[in-house]
A and B are shown apart, each in its own frame.
Chain A
Amino acid sequence: MTSLFADSGPAVHVAPAPIMHLGGLTITNSILWGWISTVIICLVMILVARRVTVKPKGGLVQFIEAGVDFITNLVESGFDDKSRGRRYVPYFVTLFFFLMLSNWLGLLPGIGEAFHRGDNPLLRPFTADLNGTFAAGLVTMLVVYAASIRESGGPIKYIRHFFIGSPLNPLYLIIGILEMFTDLTRVFSLSLRLFLNVAIGEIVIAVFSYLGHVVAPVTALPFTLLELFVGALQAYIFTVLSLNYLAIVANHGHGSEGQESLTEEPLPETIGLQSGRA
């Protein structure tokens, strides 16, 4: 079933829809496209990795290479000690490319309202599903917590990092506990940001192609291009923010010893003060 024009208002979906049942599992349209795009991304990356040469030939290979280089520099410069940062480069590069290419593959024609199975669209962008982005956020934060514990040298030292002074001081105790809860909300803020940007981008494209009616491609094109930009930007932001959460902990013990502060008395180190660093 293919429909060229929307009959009554723009078709707006915020939640994924089930399209089939496989055993006890419900397969939704977003997970179906998520699997397909995972295969596509893996194939593209394997193909690119085989064709990397010392002398760049241009094209897709060079584009991917530039992206890898960009994220590698970003991760390494985020840490005070570059060799520490190098260990986490593979994860963040994978994260960046997976999210960016998932965002872009969701913009392809045919994803969304074009094909239907029953009443529901057959395919839906993977990152326009809160379950997908929540999984990405959860896995990323688990990696960040595990790496933070390793970088700070043990769970006790990691928990100690939340308290700016002695935990026996009631004020510092309350602030530290609040800081821990703030840490838990990061999963939600990371996943909600990505999900809402992509899902609302889809809605905006749907609304403007509805308003355009016959000339829908003309009215929807600027917003599709905007979504290309937003997709890359959100992948970058997801990577940078999760990198910062890790780098704050990893740099915590080193910053105060290495560099002498300008003031006579060292300022009390707050966790919020360091978050401005990239």
Chain B
Amino acid sequence: MIIADATSTTVIGKGIMIGLGFIGPAIGIGLIGGNYLSAVGRNPEASKFFGQALVFTAIVELFGLLAFASTFIVK
């Protein structure tokens, strides 16, 4: 109750939204990068797939951006 008095709950909602929304893409991009590096470590010829790794990164990144954009809708 004290917190709810001090600040608007919208701010808390936005904070949770951004925080949770960024966790997923962060893990996803980490997995893509880590797996890319381990693939290159095993087989250095796989480094030519860097462009594809970037494409998948962009696909994952979209969801984080969606979470960020949704915070502007919360009033």
Contacts and interface: CB of A to CB of B under 8 A. Distances in A.
Interface of A: 12, 14, 189, 192-193, 196-197, 199-200, 233-234, 236-237, 240-241, 276, 278
Given A193-B65, A196-B65, A233-B54, 18 more contacts: A14-B69, A189-B62, A192-B66, A193-B58, A193-B61, A193-B62, A196-B66, A196-B69, A197-B65, A200-B68, A200-B69, A233-B58, A236-B54, A237-B54, A237-B55, A240-B51, A278-B52, A278-B55
Of the four ranges (under 10, 10 to 19, 20 to 34, 35 or more), the interface on chain B belongs to 10 to 19
B62 A241 contact: no
Contact of B62 (A14, A192, A236, A278): A192
Interface SS of chain B: helix
Given A278-B51, A278-B52, A237 B58 contact: yes
Interface string B47-75: 00001101100110110011011001000
B64 to A, nearest CB: 9
A197 B59 CA distance: 11
Contacts of A278: 51-52, 55
Contacts of B66: 192, 196
Nearest to A233: B54
Nearest to B49: A278
A197 B61 CA distance: 9
29 contacts: A14-B69, A14-B72, A189-B62, A192-B62, A193-B58, A193-B61, A193-B62, A193-B65, A196-B62, A196-B66, A196-B69, A197-B65, A199-B69, A200-B65, A200-B68, A200-B69, A233-B54, A233-B58, A234-B58, A236-B51, A236-B54, A237-B55, A237-B58, A240-B55, A241-B55, A276-B52, A278-B51, A278-B52, A278-B55
